[in-house]
Structure 1
Amino acid sequence: MAGRRSSGVLAMLAEAQREQHRREEARRRAAEADRRAYERAQREAQRSAAQGRKEALRAYQQGREADAARRTAELDARVDRLRGVLAAGLAGPAFHPAELQGPVRVPPFDPGPLGVPVPMPDQAWYLVPPPVGAQAADPAARRRFDAEAAQARARYEQDWYAAQAAERQRLGQLAEYRAQYDAWAAERLRWAAGQAEQAAGLVAGLRAGDPAAVVEYFETALRWRDDWPEGFPVEGALTWDAAARRLVVERRLPGAEVVPAVARLRYVKADDREAEVARSATERRALYREVLAQCALRVLDALLRADPGGLVESVVLNGFLDAVDPATGREERRTLVAVAVERTAFRALALDRVSAVDCLVEGLGGRLSARPEKAAPVKPELPTDPAPMVAASTLAPDGMGAGDGDGGDGPDLFEMDPIAFEELIAELFRRRGLRTSTTARSGDEGVDVLAEDPDPITGGRIVIQAKRYRHTVPPAAVRDLDATMVRQGANRGILVTTSGFGPGSRRWAEGKPLTLVDGPTLVRLLHEQGLSGRLGGTVAAPAAAPPAATRRGSGGSRSAAGRAQELSPGQNVRPEPAELAELTVVFGSTGAEADLTLLLLAEDGRVRSDEDFVFYHQPTAEGGAVTLRQEERTATLRPLDLPGTVHRVAISVNMDADSDTTCAQLRDAELRVSGAAGGGWSFRPPADPAISAMLVAELYRNGGGWKLRAVGQGWADGLAGLARAHGVEVA
């Protein structure tokens, strides 16, 4: 009996052990299944991540390849424009004497918003319905009606008188605007009549063969077309030989840098970099020679096509550029293209089918530099029978005649070629007894003219700077001259300008061997030495559009068509994308001197480096996307070219650090911003006596575009406070 019980217990224990083993085996199998499932999920996640990285890398590489292809296409387009210089000239219309006498249209008077009468209030709008039914007999209802009717009559009378006052104001403004329009139209017509008379005289002089008229006419013909590629100069000189009926043209040529040194760009996946494939020296030389030949042929074609009457028998053309002589280090003029053509032979050419180089050299017998990229010169083409040249003139870079320097009041100093202006200053001091020489334009270290006073006691070395400014010379220019004088080991420094100097500049020069010569003094000195020059004096054409009509009154903006929108402090606007191709910023004021500065700021409101501080000594940033012209207190911005790390551009002004002036001394201060598509905005900052540096406005990123905001707040410690507030280290 006991044995049977023992065997039963053992059987139960064995069964329990087997059950335990089964459960452990099930757990083991479940754990193994979980492990395999986890490993499968891990492998799947790794495969998915690898696929994502692969796709992201492929997209990144495709983007880099597309960017390289886009930039290569831009290079190809530049080369196509260079190869098409002559074709572009041939495709355009020829200049004709009739172009000088085109009609001047005076648009009819348009009153704009002032032509809309102020609506008068209608008494029916103010009627109060009388009580009806049982309420008509209710005294309380009658009293309420009488009170409401009296209030309505009072409102009507108030609104009627206000409308009458607004209408009288409108009529007064309309009469004022009509008077402005009539004055503008009369001035426009008087100017047009004067221009027509001058044009008629020029055409008559041209037909009569008057030398001065011939020169002026063909100068106009050369300036008429403005579709030359970017970077191509339009400077030169034109001379008319009446006896030989020959035009002699000296034309500045573009430099070799107009030919891209890079042929294409390609993305190298292995190194994750963009590689530049250089254009071979042979290809660059051939393309540059082709460009020079096309320039010469286009100038010749423009001159002869502008002469339908056959006045010109021949044209002599010398194309030149300035290059540094490695032997002397001085800049000199070198002729790279020279050709003389007869009218009949040139007009017989089919210029749309010629090879420019072959046509110039073989067809016309001209000379073209074999190595123009090295400025290897050729012999200039001179008239074979050098008769006296009876009329000559100069084409300045902006297309204005610079004058010949004798007779009358002489050339306009504002419009002179920079090199000619420096030569004039050198000649002035040469006649005053100094030995003078102009410096090379590159590497001149801030010196335009070097002079030596031969006096053994008071003489010595003198450095002279010549600045053709229309605005007050900033004190920084005077400080620079002081430093330049020390570097050059000079005894004295002279700063000559066509404008003037402010009190800060004169205070800096006090007690120092510095002489400041302003515009009126310069003109007087020139006349004393038998030279000539004037400061402007030409009559500008009246505005091409009449003044805009603007209704002034409470509420609304004062802006109207053709005028800049005025902003109030804190107001912001969103320029259209077309405007953002290039923004022009101009700060104008009278009274005390102030400098325009700009800061490129990151998302945290601080500069990324000191290179983001754009001021007098550092006038550009981001490859020219921001450029400052301090002497004009003007800047140009290309927001679309700024990198994504630039989130704001701060536009500020600061008073002269060497004076005790504040922003309260800025009279008639105004910031004007003009867009590439013709839009414009203006802001008149407050004249705050507590600050000497002001954040006038800021351009900032917003919603994928840019916004412009007027600010008008500043710092009492001037430029130093402005700089520190934006992360610029100040010593």
Structure 2
Amino acid sequence: MSRRASSGLIGVWAEAQRQQQRSQVIRQREAERRQRAYEREAARGQREQQAAYKQHREAEARRLTEALDAQLAALQGLLAAGCRAPAFRMAALVRSEQLEPFNPGALAQPLPMPHLQQFQHQSSGWTLGSGRRAQAEREAHDRYTQAWQAAHAAEQQRQRQLAAYRQQYDEWAAAQLVGIRAHNNGLGELAAALRAGDSEAAVEYFSAALYASAAWPENLPRQVSAAYDPAARQLVLDWELPRFEVVPQTKAVRYVPSTDQDKETARPVTQRRALYRDLLAQCVLLVLRELYAADEFGALDSVVVNGFVDDHDPVTGREAQIVLATVRAEREAFAGLRLEQVSAVDCLLDGLGGQLSARPDQLAAVRPGRRPGEVGGVVSHGGHAGGGEEEPDLFTMDPIAFENLVAELFRAMGMEAVTTQRSGDGGVDVEALDPAPIRGGRIVVQVKRYRNTVPPTAVRDLYGTVQDRGANKGVLVTTASFGPGSYTFANGKPLELVPGAELVALLHQHGLRGRLGDGGRPAGAAERGAATPTPAPAAAPAPYNVLGMSWSGSVALDVCALVCEGGRVLSEDHFVFFNNLQTPDGSVRSAAHTAPDKAAVEVDFDALPERADRLVLVAAIDPEVNPDADLTGFAEARIRLLDSAGHELDQLEVSDGRPGETALVLGSFRRRPDGDWKFVIGGKGYRGGLEDLLGDFGIEVA
């Protein structure tokens, strides 16, 4: 009995062991199945990722090929596209009399006046006796009176500022209208001169028509030199042609998966040469089309075009203008052409009897036709044609040409830039894109061809345009200058102001041409915050005194001077600071300092304007160097009075700075009845920086 029982227990145990083994096998097989499924999924994901990467690279290669095809199509269709562009007309030069409206901003809003109920409400809920209540009412009334007086004074100040701002705007608007009407009247005189066959008028008009034409892509040159023969009613010009590199060397781009690289297919040299030759013929024909289309006055009977490239002469190795195409086109012969459908090369050679280089890629020249220099009265636009010819005067340059020149400057600085349409531009003359990864972005540019100081209204309007357009920066370019109000308003904002002197310096720096009237070529523009600012060109007559400023502490300061009558500066141009290095008469100017001074100003006291009775010296924290600093670190300050030879005549003590203040009046030299000047120590501080200080001297910044 017991043996059978024992045998049964062994059987149960053996069965349990078999079940356990079977379960382990099943689990192992399940794990292996999951592993195989995971590996299959991973392999599929890798294949899909590789396929996606391959598709991306192939798509990028196709995009590059399409871009090359589009570039080539634009070159092949240059003449047809140019014929569809609107013809240049004199009306394009007419300036609108609609000016920027008066916009005082916050100054237009009256300041709210306090009400007695506001102060009584603060004292409500009294539970004491009538005596205490009467006292509290008197205190509330006193607070109300003080608040009302302060608000009334502030409102009067606002009204005075608004009136002064309105007067400034009205003066600016009147000057603008005078200039606009003079310009528009001058266009009528220009049209009459063109009808009469005046050489100078013809050269200026037709050169401007070519330079401002909308038919030319931005990547093609627009250098032109022209002269007009009134007896033959013939315009003779040299026109710069694009170089051989404009035709893309690469024909297509293909992605090769085995090497994970893009492979470029080269365009056959014979094809590039044929495309380039055809492009040159198109350029010459398009020049003829633009000139005859712009001739609404019947000034042209014939046109001679010499197309050239600036390069090294393969014979002499010297830089030269190599003529690759030339043609003389009579009006009657040209009028019978349908340029949209012609073969450019055949039309130029057979239809008009012109010449075209057989190997322009190798700079094989042709004999030019009549040259502008053989006629006389040559005028050049764009580029550097003419070598030693006089640079164009930015003040008298055609406004469209001036905007194009500014756009060309931005392109020369490595940006993408285009001029906007003449209408509906929203106050933007040039749109630029800076490709720099951090400091770059979209830039809106306004161009002001002024002779007088640009008013702060223009800077404020530009800031509004930057905000409306969502741009990264706004740039205001002018042939004139900016006042301290403009610079102070622009400080800390995404605005950049380019005055005329700096504009000319930038043009020359980037190989472009331009001058300001008879002022010639400036030495360059001083940079803000330079440790030793370069004095402005000759002005202050000797003998002059040097005022050297020094102080302890490492705080960076801008030291400025104001020429005043009473407590008001004579004009914004009589405020000498980092962006205005001298007064108009040169009697006060910034100077290079020498140790131990940290800043210096040169003054010819005898040459100061007669109505000026004081010269005020001020200092302010440089917000770009020490944006969070105050004048606590401005201590042990003094002014050294030196003669023109650098000998110390006296030392003048000035007040130290105080915590929380960011600007300080150091002191003033005041004219005495006998004509001598006496120094009076200052000490008034300002918490609102230079902007706050300038308001006390009559310079509007807001």
> What TM-score do you get using the length of structure 1 for normalisation?
0.55
In structure 1, list runs of 5 or more residues that go unmatched.
1-7, 416-468, 470-538, 550-558, 566-573, 591-627, 634-650, 671-682, 691-731
CA distance in 2, matches of 1:583, 1:102: 23
1:394 pairs, out of 380, 399, 415, with 380
SS in 1 for 2:258: coil
Contact persistence 1:191–1:542 (CA under 8 A) = no
Corresponding position: 1:230 with 2:218: yes
What is the aligned partner in structure 1 of residue 11 from structure 2? 18
Corresponding position: 1:280 with 2:268: yes
CA shift for structure 1 position 665: 8.3
2:25 pairs, out of 3, 28, 32, with 32
Corresponding position: 1:561 with 2:461: yes
CA shift for structure 1 position 564: 8.1
In structure 2, list runs of 5 or more residues that go unmatched.
396-408, 410-447, 484-504, 511-526, 533-549, 560-576, 580-621, 630-702
CA distance in 2, matches of 1:236, 1:357: 22
Per-residue CA deviation, residues 289-335 of structure 1 (Å, 9 max, x unaligned), is: 22212211111111111212322111111100022244543323211
Corresponding position: 1:64 with 2:57: yes
What is the aligned partner in structure 2 of residue 360 from structure 1? 348
CA distance in 2, matches of 1:127, 1:115: 30
2:462 maps to a residue whose letter is G
What is the aligned partner in structure 1 of residue 300 from structure 2? 312
What is the aligned partner in structure 2 of residue 548 from structure 1? 457
What is the aligned partner in structure 2 of residue 711 from structure 1? none
CA distance in 2, matches of 1:131, 1:112: 38
Corresponding position: 1:207 with 2:195: yes
CA distance in 2, matches of 1:355, 1:341: 17
CA shift for structure 1 position 652: 12
Contact persistence 1:65–1:266 (CA under 8 A) = yes
CA shift for structure 1 position 171: 0.9
2:199 maps to a residue whose letter is P
2:42 maps to a residue whose letter is A
Contact persistence 2:191–2:297 (CA under 8 A) = no
Corresponding position: 1:77 with 2:70: yes
Greater CA deviation, 42-51 or 95-104? 95-104
2:450 maps to a residue whose letter is A
SS in 2 for 1:329: coil
What is the aligned partner in structure 2 of residue 457 from structure 1? none
1:89 pairs, out of 82, 87, 96, with 82
SS in 2 for 1:333: strand
CA shift for structure 1 position 575: 8.5
What is the aligned partner in structure 1 of residue 36 from structure 2? 43
What is the aligned partner in structure 2 of residue 265 from structure 1? 253
Corresponding position: 1:301 with 2:210: no
Residue 46 to residue 584, structure 1, CA distance change in 2 (3 Å): farther
Residue 666 to residue 396, structure 1, CA distance change in 2 (3 Å): farther
Residue 268 to residue 669, structure 1, CA distance change in 2 (3 Å): farther
SS in 2 for 1:260: coil
Alignment of 1:170-249 (within 5 A): 170-226=158-214, 228-249=216-237
Per-residue CA deviation, residues 559-595 of structure 1 (Å, 9 max, x unaligned), is: 8432489xxxxxxxx9999635x98799x999xxxxx
CA distance in 2, matches of 1:76, 1:331: 33
Corresponding position: 1:112 with 2:105: yes
1:160 maps to a residue whose letter is W
CA shift for structure 1 position 546: 6.3
Residue 109 to residue 228, structure 1, CA distance change in 2 (3 Å): same
CA distance in 2, matches of 1:47, 1:269: 23
What is the aligned partner in structure 2 of residue 335 from structure 1? 323
Corresponding position: 1:291 with 2:279: yes
SS in 2 for 1:219: helix
Alignment of 1:691-710 (within 5 A): none
> What TM-score do you get using the length of structure 2 for normalisation?
0.57
Residue 65 to residue 150, structure 1, CA distance change in 2 (3 Å): farther
Residue 665 to residue 163, structure 1, CA distance change in 2 (3 Å): closer
Contact persistence 2:454–2:482 (CA under 8 A) = no
CA shift for structure 1 position 390: 4.3
Per-residue CA deviation, residues 600-635 of structure 1 (Å, 9 max, x unaligned), is: xxxxxxxxxxxxxxxxxxxxxxxxxxxx989969xx
What is the aligned partner in structure 2 of residue 128 from structure 1? 121
SS in 1 for 2:375: coil
1:199 maps to a residue whose letter is L
1:394 maps to a residue whose letter is S
SS in 2 for 1:61: helix
Residue 208 to residue 153, structure 1, CA distance change in 2 (3 Å): same
What is the aligned partner in structure 1 of residue 624 from structure 2? 685
Contact persistence 2:123–2:136 (CA under 8 A) = no
Per-residue CA deviation, residues 332-379 of structure 1 (Å, 9 max, x unaligned), is: 321111111110110111112222222212221222222222222222
CA distance in 2, matches of 1:20, 1:146: 107
CA shift for structure 1 position 257: 1.7
CA shift for structure 1 position 233: 1.2
Residue 327 to residue 20, structure 1, CA distance change in 2 (3 Å): farther
CA distance in 2, matches of 1:89, 1:237: 21
Contact persistence 1:241–1:388 (CA under 8 A) = no
Alignment of 1:402-441 (within 5 A): 411=391
Residue 152 to residue 83, structure 1, CA distance change in 2 (3 Å): farther
Contact persistence 1:589–1:666 (CA under 8 A) = no
| Number of residues of Structure 1 aligned to a counterpart in Structure 2 | 459
Residue 161 to residue 239, structure 1, CA distance change in 2 (3 Å): same
2:50 maps to a residue whose letter is L
CA shift for structure 1 position 174: 0.8
Contact persistence 1:237–1:251 (CA under 8 A) = yes
What is the aligned partner in structure 2 of residue 495 from structure 1? none
Residue 292 to residue 143, structure 1, CA distance change in 2 (3 Å): farther
CA distance in 2, matches of 1:107, 1:576: 16
Per-residue CA deviation, residues 483-521 of structure 1 (Å, 9 max, x unaligned), is: xxxxxxxxxxxxxxxxxxxxxxxxxxxxxxxxxxxxxxx
1:29 maps to a residue whose letter is R
SS in 1 for 2:461: coil
CA shift for structure 1 position 190: 2.6
SS in 1 for 2:237: strand
CA distance in 2, matches of 1:95, 1:27: 97
2:66 maps to a residue whose letter is A
Residue 42 to residue 169, structure 1, CA distance change in 2 (3 Å): same
Residue 260 to residue 219, structure 1, CA distance change in 2 (3 Å): same
Residue 104 to residue 291, structure 1, CA distance change in 2 (3 Å): farther
CA shift for structure 1 position 43: 1.0
Residue 155 to residue 131, structure 1, CA distance change in 2 (3 Å): closer
CA distance in 1, matches of 2:274, 2:154: 72
Contact persistence 1:548–1:563 (CA under 8 A) = no
Contact persistence 1:288–1:373 (CA under 8 A) = yes
CA distance in 1, matches of 2:155, 2:260: 71
SS in 1 for 2:251: strand
2:110 maps to a residue whose letter is P
Per-residue CA deviation, residues 504-549 of structure 1 (Å, 9 max, x unaligned), is: xxxxxxxxxxxxxxxxxxxxxxxxxxxxxxxxxxx95358996429
CA shift for structure 1 position 72: 2.8
CA distance in 1, matches of 2:16, 2:272: 85
CA distance in 2, matches of 1:194, 1:322: 38
CA distance in 2, matches of 1:666, 1:83: 58
Contact persistence 1:253–1:321 (CA under 8 A) = yes
CA shift for structure 1 position 393: 1.9
CA shift for structure 1 position 403: 10
2:301 maps to a residue whose letter is E
1:579 maps to a residue whose letter is A
